[in-house]
Amino acid sequence: MSSMKYYLIVIALLAIVQPTIAQNIALRKDTIFCNHAPYAIFKKSKTQVRYFICDLKGAELMEIHSGRILIGDQPGYVVNFLSDMKQAMIVKDTHFPSSFLKQVVAANLVSNGATINPEAELKFITSHPLPTGYTDVEQLIEF
Could you report the per-residue pLDDT of 35-89, keeping only the tens digit for each? Answer: 999 999 999 998 888 999 999 999 999 999 988 888 888 888 999 999 999 999 9
Tell me whether residue 16 is in a domain: no
β-bridge pairing 60-71 and 37-44 = unpaired
- What is the H or E stretch that residue 25 is in? strand 25-28
Residue 112 structural domain? 23-131
Q: Give how many domains the chain has, as a whole number.
A: 1
Q: What is the pTM of this model?
A: 0.77
Tell me whether residue 109 is in a domain: yes
Q: Which long-range contacts (CB under 8 A, 24 or more apart) does 88-94 make?
A: 88/124, 88/125, 88/128, 88/129, 88/130, 89/128, 89/129, 89/130, 89/131, 89/134, 90/64, 90/128, 92/66
Tell me whether residue 13 is in a domain: no
Tell me whether residue 52 is in a domain: yes
